[in-house]
Structure 1
């Protein structure tokens, strides 16, 4: 796979890697190596410049194996993505409303939506901010919110770009615990990070992109 943001301009690759259920894959490397671009391509949000991204097994659920060609609804339950800049994915006027968007778009019953949202608000220490406008949150709170919103649809693959950046020690540990729980439940997790400690704590398999990759 070769990736880039602009057609014909390679940022990283060629690379070959597997994203596996029940495992954390840590994508590391220096700034400018193409980590975020690779992550967005794996998530089906950017076209590859060469090679291919191909889902296998239960993730594919049919003949279409290229995530880029799935519907947005299919992506919601298959691959969830947390961007490096949380403000790039904030849509609602309240924290609670942000967490409700994904489950509601899946047509879940209101009681199921409420149960999922209430659980995530507590687990990610956002319950006291439930009615706040997401844009009034601190940087760390916005990042927790986007993680929670991604988890609300319970996708089989989760791509996280610097999920622990700007978090205090307590929240860092809580995020690591949640990611570990997802891994142990069979979710495939991709973590782009400069935080070696988070990869150590998650026993992640590492894939390093070089500056010239």
Structure 2
């Protein structure tokens, strides 16, 4: 079965983005194995004097590398992704490169009406950085607005149109992962290009 890492893009203890990923894990259980990955235990990024990545980050990178794809659910703070998510991506591009050519699906939930649309655009920009260089599923947005009212007591999405949209996008992502798996001819070169970007020159 396809293995997908579901990255919770916030360190908030009570997040509807985590809730959305939990819903997806249960809803798509017959199609893929989703493993929720938290970022709330990561230290604040600071280039280590010994240039060694913390073990907790290294283990996270190994989990991402072994997955067929990654789903990232992000809230929106001030038209951008949360500092905690950017912190995680900073660590995951410092001497380790698990996102290079990795298929990624971006989704998001927010309490307001926009459903994290600007944060998703920001995340696309970050994931396209030369040290990350993920393969982001194109022409896709899942924007769960008014997320505090979006789930019932069984953690099921109430709006059936949103369910249908998410199901369609997830089907597309399964196909996108299959296509991406055939596009690895330049992976070793892309990996070297990511490694050539030196943090020490920043």
State the TM-score, normalized to the length of structure 1.
Answer: 0.33
More strand by share: 2
TM-score with structure 2 length normalisation?
Answer: 0.34
Which structure carries more relative contact order (alpha carbon 8 Å, separation 6+)? 1
